Amino acid sequence: MTARVRALLKRTADGIERQTPAHRDRAVDGLRALALLAVPTGHWLLGGFTLDADGGLHNASPLSAFGALAPASWVLQMLGIFFLVGGYASALSFRRRTGSTGAWLKGRIVRLGRPVLGVTAVWALAAPVLYAAGVPEATLRTGATLVIQPLWFVGVYVVITALTPYCVRAAGRLGGWAAAPLLVSVAVVDFLRYGPLAGSVPGWVALLNILPGWLFAYQLGVGWGEGRIGRRGGYLLLAGGTLLFAALLVVFHYPASMVGVPGAERTNSHPPSLLVLALAAAQSGAAILLRDRLARLLARQALWAPVVVVNLCAMTILCWHQTAMLAAAVPGSFLGEVAGLTTAPDSLGWIAARVAWMPVFAVLLVAIARYARRFEGPAPQGRTAPAVRRTVAGLLAAGFAVFALGLA
């Protein structure tokens, strides 16, 4: 690294440090950045492709061939932490609001919705162009599925955010125990799905786990933000979550992977099973206990600056990281089988090659973010997008969703 680059990075870090309010909770921001970075890392490492005879890309996973990689998903599945810090931040923001609850909620939904609308509208425009350029339809469908796959999280998060006033009220009355009924609800549904009555239970019952399954960690975060969960609660969550996690794996034989494995009969994440909540409880307990230590660590400018940058680009990372991987894989598909990129993820050599490709994906994401970041930033003061532009963007996004979900 040249002296000029070091000087630039130092000035940038100094500027970020000066603009950081003294009351900023660096530990919570650090946890959010960690959870955010786990999303592309997990998708890039545990998601692969195969190439058909016509040169089309299809989704594949190394977990199908290497079940021993499942523990990696325990580390990379950090949505529990994301919902925890989301609940924490929402509780504080809700308490500090100056307008009505509706205005507060609208502001948060707009910040979440604009990046989603941006990526889906851009892909709706790009897909016909790519098809005309010779990209196979199979590749486009695979890419559309990958792009829209992480966006389910935004829809769930919006619904959960709308419940913040009720979560705050529940935390005020019950503290951290307000999350317990959500755990019980998921346990009951899992018993119906996997217990002795499983053969007579309709498949849609599993969908009942979606809201309580992801609301669990958010409710813990609200309780934490309201000051109702301290170190004692952190120890309880860490120990209880770890014991429940182990029991579900060893005694009740839950799938070890926290993400879906192609061909597997059961999955833990879509919708969330009790194993997801057990992991979220353990992760939340660890986060609460490590908060002070993490805050001291992030007092260092060199560590704090990247955390700020990641948080400022949160939705950009979430919405565009799959596009960054596709930006390498789609051109690679025209070259044939490229190790770690378009070859089947069924060997140790593939894993090594994919790890080598990950810095390339990261560079491509940074390049994309230079332009996509505008969707995440607030609209200029006093200006809103014209109604026609919003309508066109909405129609493009809807059309892309229909294509990605296989409805057209």
Average pLDDT, stretch 224-248? 96
User: How much is the pLDDT for 46?
Assistant: 87
How far apart CA 128 and CA 198 sit, in angstroms, is 44
Domain residue ranges of the chain, discontinuous segments joined by +: 45-377
CB 190 within 8 Å of CB 206:
no
User: What residues pair up with 272 in beta bridges, in sequence order?
Assistant: 269
User: How much is the pLDDT for 251?
Assistant: 95
pLDDT, tens digit, 9 for 90 and up, residues 320-350: 999 999 999 999 999 999 999 999 999 999 9
* Residue 408's pLDDT band (cuts 50, 70, 90): low
Does the predicted TM-score (pTM) go above 0.95?
no
Closest by alpha carbon to 76, among 237, 283, 224, 242? 283
DSSP string, 16-52: HHHHS-TT--HHHHHHHHHHHHHHHHHHHHH-EEEE-
CB 98 within 8 Å of CB 300:
no
* Residue 28's pLDDT band (cuts 50, 70, 90): very high
